[in-house]
């Protein structure tokens, strides 16, 4: 392991895996169970509501249990959909969410190409059962050296407690030789910067970074991680 980095901490959803693909499947399945159809406009709106709740979780404004049900309650209230058992809905949704996956940007080939070059771990704020299901069925379980899930850790990214937990359990102790790769500036990049860990912001669209969190690297193609890790 003679490259610049010996360890890569990968975000899961919207970095290695295409989260909107799984989200769309989960929402459609749950609405079909209710005998209803969900429109693309409603999926987009739910995604916005969901993102806002995850941001609030990062800031400690809501608990994980509040997030899991309140995002749907907010969505149903906004669209005047009544009579839904929100607890049952979110349980079915999470089961459906964890049953399908699609890689972003040839993600599996990228991590496979890094095997033997560096150690690799998944770091995710996702729901434990969903994340572990995707980790297994996607084949990442056979490639990665481990997975750290905030629900199991007891603190979400970007909180220092999450990253301290990870650092205590990986072999590399020199933070300058660890690289965090993720799509979230407020979770992955902020968390890494607060801990003094190099960061790489991956975005597959034309987003502009208007936050105070400036990563060490900015990429639009996951294959570029191989070049970063192997550089001397």
CA distance linking residue 83 with residue 76, whole number of Å: 9
Which 3 state secondary structure label does DSSP give 59? Answer: coil
Q: How far apart are CA 55 and CA 204, in angstroms?
A: 20
Q: Name the nearest CA neighbour of 147 among 18, 6, 11.
A: 11
How are strands ordered across the β-sheet holding 217-219? 146-149, 119-124, 7-11, 178-182, 199-202, 217-219
Query: CA 115, CA 112: separation in Å to the nearest integer?
Result: 5
User: Residue 168 and residue 162: Cα distance in Å, rounded?
Assistant: 10
Round to whole Å and give the CA distance between 203 and 151: 25
Q: State CA 127 to chain mean position distance.
A: 10
Q: What count of residues does the chain have?
A: 232
Q: 179, 9 in Cβ contact below 8 A?
A: yes
Please say if 11 is a catalytic residue.
yes
Catalytic residue among 11, 13, 183, 188: 11
Name the residues annotated as catalytic.
11
């Amino acid at each position: 392991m003679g490259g610049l980095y010996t360890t890569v901490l990968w975000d899961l959803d919207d970095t290695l895996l295409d989260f909107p693909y799984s989200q769309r499947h989960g929402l459609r399945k749950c609405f079909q169970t209710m005998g209803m159809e969900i429109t693309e406009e409603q999926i987009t709106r739910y995604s916005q509501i969901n993102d806002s709740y995850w941001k609030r979780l990062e800031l400690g404004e809501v608990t994980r249990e509040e997030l899991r049900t309140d995002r749907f309650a907010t969505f149903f209230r906004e669209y005047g959909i009544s009579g839904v058992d929100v607890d049952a809905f979110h349980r079915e949704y999470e089961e459906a969410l964890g049953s399908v996956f699609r890689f972003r940007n040839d993600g599996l080939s990228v991590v496979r190409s890094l095997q033997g070059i560096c150690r690799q771990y998944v770091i995710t704020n996702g729901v434990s059962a969903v994340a572990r299901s995707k980790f297994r069925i996607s084949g990442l379980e056979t490639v990665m050296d481990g997975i750290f899930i905030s629900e199991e850790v007891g603190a979400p990214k970007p909180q220092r407690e999450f990253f301290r937990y990870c650092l205590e359990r990986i072999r590399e102790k020199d933070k300058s030789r660890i690289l965090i790769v993720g799509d979230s500036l407020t979770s992955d990049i902020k968390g890494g910067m607060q801990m003094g860990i190099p960061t790489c912001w991956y975005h597959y669209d034309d987003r502009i970074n208007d936050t105070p969190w400036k990563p060490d690297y900015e990429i639009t193609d996951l294959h570029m991680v191989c070049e970063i890790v192997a550089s001397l």
